[in-house]
Amino acid sequence: MRAAHGATMARQAKTILRGGLQLTVMANTLGANPVRDVQPIRLKRRPTGATALSADDLHDLLVRLRADDYCQRNDLVDPITVLIATGLRRSELLALRWTDFDESKQTIAATGNVVRVLPGLLGSRRVPAVDGTTAVISPMHG
């Protein structure tokens, strides 16, 4: 299993087998769970994270970010700078409100996150627009 699909899938399969066979032990079909005798499945090497940027690389990145026309046009400079400075997740950044920022303490409280909800979940529904509403909303949108 490990050779064909990797250590993570092998560990997941072992967990499922252990749970299923434990049910047979509890039903007195098996005397003991044979999976408990299987050796632990370990990764060949520890997972590595992203390589940290040096101070010079970070400075270069910020200079290039501020000079980039695409980032300027699409208002990406400030959000990317905040991501770099804080380490927030994208969903946390997108959920920030002004009330989350404490200027006196110079802190940001990440109290929420943005999630994508599929249509029909959480009781969402479509409501027909009242006459004239789309004429007001359309210029604001585009």
| pLDDT, greater one: 134 or 85 | 85
What number is the average pLDDT over the span 24-37?
92
Length in residues, the chain: 142
Question: How far apart, in Å, are the Cα atoms of 90 and each of 41, 58, 82, 98, 120?
Answer: 33, 19, 10, 17, 24
What number is the average pLDDT over the span 7-22?
91
What number is the average pLDDT over the span 106-121?
83
39-48, 60-69, 77-86, 94-103: least confident range: 39-48
Domain of residue 30 covers 2-37
Does the residue 126 lie in any domain?
no
CB 88 within 8 A of CB 103: no
Does the residue 97 lie in any domain?
yes
Does the residue 59 lie in any domain?
yes
Does the residue 78 lie in any domain?
yes
Residues 72 and 102 in one domain: yes
The pLDDT confidence band at residue 60, using thresholds 50, 70 and 90, is very high
With a cut of 80, say whether residue 75 has pLDDT above it: yes
Question: How far apart, in Å, are the Cα atoms of 43 and each of 7, 28, 29, 36?
Answer: 6, 34, 33, 19
Q: List the Cα angle 81/104/99 in 5-degree steps.
A: 70
Predicted TM-score (pTM) of the model is: 0.52
Residues 68 and 104 in one domain: yes
Does the residue 93 lie in any domain?
yes
